[in-house]
Amino acid sequence: MKLWAGRIQQEADARLNDFNASIRFDSRLYKQDIGGSMAHATMLRECGIITPAECDQILTGLSAILRDLESGELGIDPESEDIHTFVEAELTARIGDAGKKLHTARSRNDQVALDLRLYLRDELSAVTAMLRTLTGVLCDKAEEHTETIMPGYTHLQRAQPITFAHHLLAWAQMLLRDIGRLEDCYRRMNRSPLGCGALAATSYPIDRDMTAQLLGFDGPVLNSLDGVSDRDFCVEFVSALALVMTHLSRACEEIILWCSWEFKFIELDDRFATGSSIMPQKKNPDIPELVRGKTGRVNGDLIALLTMLKGLPLAYNKDMQEDKEAVFDACDTVKMALDAFTPMVETMAVNTQRMRAAVSGGFLNATDCADYLTRKGLPFRDAYKITGTLVAYCIEQGETLETLPLEQYRQFSEEFSEDIYEAVALETCLNSRNVLGGPAGEQVRLQLADIRDQLGAQ
């Protein structure tokens, strides 16, 4: 028998049930649903809407249901329409009439909005904690590699020397912003919709501040229509998650490149790599590829939510039931990705020689050569042009800026003297970039301390 039997006289068409039901995916809200109901019942008692005895029965009944669900003694009935219906029916089956009073001054519309906020609040905190752990791992790895010189790239062409630490901390900075975005999102999400009713609140003298407080919210949502129809907290959350995946995906792309034999900058630990079914020599980066691939799912979840909301009139519409699969999928995917990504980065081996060799061959010190001439008084544009010609000459001669004899340097400019070798030495190029945010060891150590500070403070 359906909840709404009364106005609707006929049994629903059997073909409608599965289509209409959400129990398949919203059963994971059972804990939030029970917790929300306990706060609601407590408030009903405090406001004199139900008796203390009824409230006791409800609270004891709900705790028992929670306990039995967690122990596996009670299974969720897949024939229920949704988790809210299931818990209420189970309660009434156990305690009788008092159970039927639980839904006084409440609607499934504010109930579902509440459950989802409670659930996502926890998920958001879990993801934030995982991001913090990952950022810490990046900091530890960076600390080991403040002197590990490697090429920095633009257009995937060797550009200027940096260190591995500097590169890893660039990832860490992205993650810090992701954490910040999630925390912003939490603040807006953390308002209680309970008491908004179906759409127009209730005529019972309820205390919405009390339920908000009992459930750890910063306060109630202040418009009942908005409280039951707002899902921008879902969009915001999934959009922050999509950026997390985008950041992980970019890092994964680099990891995939770096463990190719063309680069060989890193090697994944055997526990985080896979083999081929036919090619015995293969060690494949399936984990970073999957993280990169799963980014598409989360982007899809975001688009699904935005599209679902677009054009919905106020207040609740059944379309909104579609919010859950999208947010759940986005949370699950990001947590799985972080679970794999963090230990993979933690355990990967770094080939510092290969990184150094890649810096040596590619004229990454050409800018420094031009800067050298500028310091001798040439305008930068002229210095740039001379250095460009010089590089072309070196390539032709099979030389580098480090090895080219001074007489040959001087054919390009009289300003070159013995100290050019010091100026184009890779360590000089790196350590002279000692400005705020630069790759010089001193700056990277400052940056590292700052990131650790932020992680500690949050």
Residues taking part in catalysis: 155, 276
Which residues in 5-24 contact ligand ARG (CB under 6 A)? 22
Comparison of 102 and 256: residue with beta carbon closer to ligand ARG: 102
Could you tell me which stretch among 148-156, 189-197, 241-249, 316-324 binds ligand ARG (CB under 6 A)?
A: 316-324
Q: Of 33 and 178, which has the nearer Cβ to ligand ARG? A: 33
Q: Least distance to ligand ARG from the beta carbon of 84, Å?
A: 6
Within 246-341, strands assigned E span: 266-267
Does residue 242 have a cis bond before it (omega within 30 degrees)? no
Q: Which two tokens stand for residue 21?
A: 């039901």
142 touches ligand ARG (CB under 6 A): no
What DSSP element (H or E) covers 42?
A: helix 30-46
Give the containing element (helix H, strand E) for 158. Answer: strand 157-163
- Which phi and psi angles does 399 have, rounded to 5°? -110, 170
State the nearest-atom distance from the C-beta of 194 to ligand ARG, in Å. Answer: 14
Contact status: 230 vs ligand ARG (CB under 6 A): no
Q: Which is nearer to ligand ARG, 230 or 371 (CB)?
A: 230
**C-beta of residue 33 within 8 angstroms of C-beta of residue 23:** no
Residue 222 tokens read as 């202040």
Amino acid at 267: E
Q: Which residues, numbered 156-175, are part of the site for ligand ARG (CB under 6 A)?
A: none
Report the C-alpha gap between 297 and 300 in whole angstroms: 5
Nearer to ligand ARG, 108 or 292 (CB): 108
Closest contact distance (angstroms) between CB of 23 and ligand ARG is 8
Give backbone dihedrals phi and psi of 163, rounded to 5 degrees, phi first.
Answer: -115, 160
- HEC letters along 168-179: HHHHHHHHHHHH
Minimum CB–partner distance for residue 228 and ligand ARG (Å)? 9
Q: Return the H-helix or E-strand segment holding 303.
A: helix 286-309
Q: Which is nearer to ligand ARG, 109 or 365 (CB)?
A: 109
Q: Under rule CB under 6 A, which residues in 111-130 are in contact with ligand ARG?
A: 112
Give least dist CB 163 to ligand ARG, A.
50
Binding residues for ligand ARG, rule CB under 6 A, total 10
Please report whether residue 82 would count as binding ligand ARG according to CB under 6 A.
yes
3-state helix, strand, coil in the chain (%, to 5): 65, 5, 30
Rounded least distance, CB 233 to ligand ARG, Å: 15
C-alpha distances out from residue 79 to 23, 85, 100, Å? 8, 10, 20
Q: Which of 27, 109, 192, 295 binds ligand ARG (CB under 6 A)?
A: 109
**CB closer to ligand ARG, 109 vs 163:** 109
* Candidate list 101, 108, 121, 181; residue touching ligand ARG; CB under 6 A: 108
Tokens of 106: 């409440």
How far is the C-alpha of 165 from the C-alpha of 67, rounded, in Å?
48
Which tokens sit at 400? 């580098």
- In whole angstroms, what separates CA 406 from the centre of its chain? 53
x/- track of binding to ligand ARG for residues 317-336 (CB under 6 A): -x-xx---------------
Binding region for ligand ARG (CB under 6 A): 22, 26, 82, 108-109, 112, 316, 318, 320-321
